[in-house]
Amino acid sequence: MERFILGSQAVRAGAVTRYALSRDYVKIHQNVYARAGVKLDAADKAMAAWLWSRGTAVVVGHSAAAMYGTRWLPDDLPAELAHPNQPSPPGIVIHRGALAEDEVCLRGSIDCTTPARTAYDIGRRVAGDLGIERIDAVLNATGCTPNEVHRIADRYPGARGIRRLRAALALADGGAESPKETELRLLLVRDGLPQLTTQIRVGKRRVDMGWPQWKVGVEYDGEHHWTNPDDHAADIERLEYLASQGWTIIRVCARQLRRDRAGILRRVRTALAQYV
């Protein structure tokens, strides 16, 4: 919480003068201030919104996901809170749906929806593959499983967006470590290939996704594979090890995923041809 101050309390305590408050701080919400020039990420915005509520709200949705360390969340999303009475001020979206007691837990000192409830809410509210990507990210960050999210969904069969959520859960997988890995996995799944496995352990190494029974793997190469010399060297050694263990690895970069999806599928199907 040290990134923020409550203006009235700080002035009364003598920690800051009213002049310093106006000069050195930026008002985030009513009575909630951050140091001028500090860039706030999604987790910071969640904390600031909770402080605005005076600790009476529950952090939900993308804000709860951020509190669990979920990556790849845009910093420009508004904070999300559950509160039965408050209207939505600028920069905060207030949700008023029911929350069961076991759907809320403490993250630090802040009330947040559990990972399963968080994924449930995001899956109902975010459409298309973006919703699948964000569910994947929550599952990856927390270790929550799709079955746990299904159990929450079963409590609210008539909830808004429940069909969207169930469709997303059918394709969700917490093994994805980036939105691009989710995008690549969905490309393979939707092409009708055999069911694949994510984050496959091979000794001390891992393969992003693939078919361990046939030792065929598919990997997404992010920019760090090429721009960080240490990562690049480690990647060479890892791929040599996998080859020594009989693995065939199909590597996919962002340009191929964007421009040559048919080529990716052709390469994968060629690698699988002797087995499928």
What is the side-by-side strand order in the sheet with 4-6?
4-6, 32-35, 25-29
What is the C-alpha separation between 86 and 52, in angstroms, rounded?
11
Which pLDDT value is given to residue 82?
A: 96
**pLDDT tens, residue by residue, 216-267:** 999 999 765 556 777 788 888 999 999 999 999 999 999 999 999 999 999 9
Residue 109 · residue 143 · CB < 8 Å? no
DSSP state of 102: G
What is the C-alpha separation between 31 and 95, in angstroms, rounded?
22
Q: What percent of the chain has pLDDT over 90?
A: 89
Which pLDDT value is given to residue 224?
A: 55
**pLDDT tens, residue by residue, 116-136:** 999 999 999 999 999 999 999
What is the C-alpha separation between 87 and 102, in angstroms, rounded?
25
Which pLDDT value is given to residue 226?
A: 55
Task: Evaluate if residue 188 carries a pLDDT over 90.
Answer: yes
Q: How far is CA 265 from CA 42, 145, 260, in A?
A: 36, 28, 9
pLDDT, mean over the chain: 94
Q: Taking the model in full, what pTM does it have?
A: 0.92
Which pLDDT value is given to residue 61?
A: 98
Helix (H) or strand (E) holding 34: strand 32-35
**pLDDT tens, residue by residue, 38-97:** 999 999 999 999 999 999 999 999 999 999 999 999 989 999 999 987 788 999 999 988
What is the C-alpha separation between 36 and 176, in angstroms, rounded?
36
Residue 42 · residue 74 · CB < 8 Å? yes
Cβ count near 89 (within 10 Å): 14
Task: Render 106-172 in DSSP notation, one character per residue.
Answer: EETTEEEE-HHHHHHHHHHHS-HHHHHHHHHHHHHHH---HHHHHHHHHH-TT-TTHHHHHHHHTT-
CA nearest 169: which of 223, 110, 120, 215? 120
The structural domains of the chain, ordered by start, are 1-37 (no CATH), 39-169 (no CATH), 179-272 (3.40.960.10)
Which pLDDT value is given to residue 97?
A: 83
What is the C-alpha separation between 127 and 138, in angstroms, rounded?
16
CA nearest 33: which of 6, 70, 61? 6
**pLDDT tens, residue by residue, 75-91:** 899 999 999 877 889 99
